[in-house]
Chain A
Amino acid sequence: EVQLVESGGGLVKPGGSLRLSCAASGFTFHTYGMTWVRQAPGKGLEWVSCINGGGNYLYYADSVKGRFTISRDNAKNSLYLQMNTLRAEDTAIYYCVRGPDVEPTKFYFDSWGQGALVTVSS
């Protein structure tokens, strides 16, 4: 069974930093692309960042480019999101999401974690 378990969420002040982790199990981690998708309270879904199976192709939404860094450790079956210079508008549930390791135009989100809440407030 595919399992994705996020950790590292919490309350942080504007301008602060936070690092999210996602522990993956139940599948061959390095053969899948991984993504972070967020959902602000009461709002829709927003793609944040994506990394391919080998970890050499990284993609970011304009809203987080230059502030967030995605990475993965295939030896530890783990995905990470380093979030710096956080803003109030980054407040959201952050989901760790798996997808097939295919070209971007065909990529989709086939398994989701339960999410980690990040609250940016003074």
Chain B
Amino acid sequence: QSVLTQPPSVSGAPGQAVTISCIGTSSNIGAGHDLHWLQQLPGTAPKLLIFANKNRPSGVPDRFSGSKSGTSASLAITGLQAEDEADYYCQSYDSNLRAWVFGGGTKLTVL
């Protein structure tokens, strides 16, 4: 089991919006530690999508947005496109484990 909990899969039609949740505990997200999101397209290395809860690196479309509240966080994707089909991972730091931790990943399918 991963320290951060994500749904295994989500899906949506082109143009629609989806949300991916990431649930943590009081020793990671709930401790106020930053939450980040990564996108892994099929057969490629992961890529940073959102850092420090809600910030987009240069080049990431504003269709992607992040939020955090309490012990959970969310990644929202609007205007779904076929090229958004990928695995998405949340990542934070855990004070109890003294380790950087990931969610188990969510596979996004664009119908």
| Residues of B in contact with A, size category | 20 to 34
> In this assembly, does B18 line the interface, its C-beta being within 8 Å of a C-beta of chain A?
no
Q: Which residue of B lies closest to A111 (CB)?
A: B48
Q: How far is the CB of A99 from chain B (nearest CB, A)?
A: 9
Contact B51–A108 (Cβ < 8 Å): yes
Contact A113–B45 (Cβ < 8 Å): yes
Q: What chain B residues lie within 8 Å of A35 (beta carbons)?
A: 100
**Given known A112-B45, A114-B45, contact A44–B101 (CB-CB < 8 A):** no
Q: How far is the CA of A44 from the CA of B6 in the complex (A)?
A: 11
Residues facing B in A94-119 (CB within 8 A) are 95, 104-115
Main secondary structure of the interface of A (DSSP, over half): mixed
Q: How far is the CB of A44 from chain B (nearest CB, A)?
A: 5
Q: Which residue of A lies closest to B57 (CB)?
A: A110
Q: What chain B residues lie within 8 Å of A104 (beta carbons)?
A: 93, 98, 100
Q: How far is the CA of A112 from the CA of B100 in the complex (A)?
A: 16
> In this assembly, does A27 line the interface, its C-beta being within 8 Å of a C-beta of chain B?
no
> In this assembly, does B24 line the interface, its C-beta being within 8 Å of a C-beta of chain A?
no
Q: Which of A47, A50, A115 contacts B45 (CB 8 A)?
A: A115
Contact A109–B91 (Cβ < 8 Å): yes
> In this assembly, does B46 line the interface, its C-beta being within 8 Å of a C-beta of chain A?
yes
Residues facing B in A40-66 (CB within 8 A) are 44-47, 50, 59, 61-62
Q: Which residue of B lies closest to A102 (CB)?
A: B34
**Given known A105-B34, A110-B57, contact A44–B89 (CB-CB < 8 A):** yes
Please give 9 more A-B residue pairs, beta carbons under 8 A apart, in addition to A45-B46, A47-B101: A45-B38, A47-B99, A104-B93, A105-B31, A108-B91, A110-B48, A112-B46, A112-B47, A113-B45
Query: Can you report 16 A-B residue pairs in the complex whose CB atoms are below 8 A from each other?
Result: A35-B100, A44-B102, A45-B89, A45-B105, A50-B100, A61-B99, A62-B99, A104-B93, A106-B34, A106-B52, A108-B91, A109-B38, A109-B46, A112-B48, A113-B45, A114-B45
